[in-house]
Amino acid sequence: MKKQKSWSGRFAKAANKLSEEFNASIGFDVRLFAHDIRGSIAHATVLCDAGIITKQESKKIITGLKKVESQLARGIFTPGAECEDIHMAVESRLAELIGALAGKLHTGRSRNDQVALDIRLYLRDEIKSILSALNKFKGALLTLAEANIDVIMPGYTHLQRAQPVLLAHHLLAYYEMFCRDTSRLTDCLARFDEMPLGAGALAGSPYKLDRKLAARLLGFSRVTANSMDSVSDRDFAIEFLSAASVMVLHFSRLSEELVLWSSQEFAFVEIAEEFSTGSSIMPQKKNHDIAELTRGKTGRVYGNLMSLLTLMKGLPLAYNKDMQEDKEPLFDTVDTLRAILDVYAPMMESLRFNGATTLTATKKGFLNATDAADYLVNKGLPFREAHRVVGRVVRLCIDKGVDLEGLTMKEWRVFSPLFGVDIKEAISIEKSLKSRRIAGGTAPGNVLKALKKAKKELALEAKKVVL
């Protein structure tokens, strides 16, 4: 016999098959089953507390719900399109297991506040697990920085060699970005820490349900303030997708650098074979698909954010079925982030930097020209003038095919009498690095301190993320 829909009372005709399939979300929202059941168990407890169902009935419903959960988890119950969505699938299975009593569970509740709850519960779990994976990755980044603390490399602007920096300083720049990602996700979590049940379809439930009890049972700090907002709001999902977009943007930039640095043109770094791939035609190739794919996946994460923003922009209050389309972009983003985080941490640990090559690169391209200008400034010349003088010195070096180090004292002095023998030391890479002791600068002492501070903070942060 064909199952009756829970809303079939008003209908004389059964649903068209194509319409039923078009309407169904069970194909993807089945993933919410554990959260849906957790919400239903809390709701049954609240119904009992309000005297709407007896203690015995609540017990029976809860036992039944747990059974449905285990059947879904083990693949014994595999709901199809006839169930429409996860909420109706759970309810109809519950009815098969415990009979008509199951029909009392939906008292004072609508799928609109139910789904608003489920997504919050789901996203809360996922964000916590993403935060913990992100911490692991950040740990790998710090280990890499520490292991290469002596590596000197060219810092770039416009992808042109600019000034010497420590590789660890460069890596710690990413650490700062990923810390802001942690902070954005944490903020997002705190903002949607609100329990929507009790909103009903849109106007609020007419039953005396203790919303605070539901919030406590489900681990929320507070209840939502407005029933219409409770069922209409997807800001929290948009906020997550936006934080996720910024995070993958950071991974994409790091990936781009790894692709560049591992090329023969740079040869700054070696990515381990375990994290590389070959070519089906060119036997010599070792490609860095993990980094490239990460860069590529950024597109779909941005796309998911755009989908949800566009989905929501024209919707009148309160719930509209359009909102069923919120889930796939959300799930896809969660999956993508998890996959990137999981593979990236061990890949980072596998990197081997070539300090000799990065040092040689730092010596070519006049990266110490600014230091020469600063030397003149220290001797009293206005910076603009000093810039011009050193510009002319560089011009001569280019014409002669030498570095600044290749000039004789006599040649220096042609450009300014302020140049003394100490210019040689002033333009050394070591001096250049050491001189940047300003807060946030690349001086080795600074970088060491920053690394220590980061390690301490990360250890504290890791304790905060409770799963």
Binding site for ligand ARG (CB under 6 A): 25, 29, 85, 111-112, 115, 319, 321, 323-324
Distance of CA 176 to the CA centre of its chain: 14
Q: Considering beta carbons, is residue 111 or 211 the nearer one to ligand ARG?
A: 111
Nearest approach, Cβ of 206 to ligand ARG (angstroms)? Answer: 18
Catalytic residue among 183, 221, 263, 279: 279
Nearer of residues 32 and 447 to ligand ARG, judged by Cβ = 32
If the CB atoms of residues 147 and 201 are measured against ligand ARG, the closer one turns out to be 201
Active-site residue flag, 6: no
We find the least distance from the C-beta atom of residue 24 to ligand ARG, in angstroms, to be 8
C-beta closer to ligand ARG: residue 25 or 294 = 25
Residue 112 Cβ, how far from ligand ARG at the closest point, in Å?
5
| Spatial separation of the C-alpha atoms in residues 406 and 403, rounded to whole Å | 5
Task: Give 297 or 327: the residue with its C-beta nearer to ligand ARG.
Answer: 327
**What does the alpha-carbon distance between residue 138 and residue 64 come to, in Å, rounded to a whole number?**
43
Smallest gap from Cβ 15 to ligand ARG, in A, equals 13
Instruction: Quote the least distance from Cβ 67 to ligand ARG, whole Å.
Output: 23
Select which of 35, 158, 227, 252 is catalytic: 158
Active site residue 158: yes
Q: Shortest approach of ligand ARG to residue 29 CB, angstroms?
A: 6
Q: How many CB atoms lie within 10 A of CB 449?
A: 12
Distance CA 211, CA 111 (A): 16
CB of 230 to ligand ARG, least distance (A): 13
The nearer residue to ligand ARG, 27 or 420, going by C-beta atoms, is 27
Select 29 or 91, whichever has its Cβ closest to ligand ARG: 29
Cα gap 402→339, rounded to integer Å? 48
Would you please indicate which residues are annotated as catalytic (active-site) residues? 158, 279
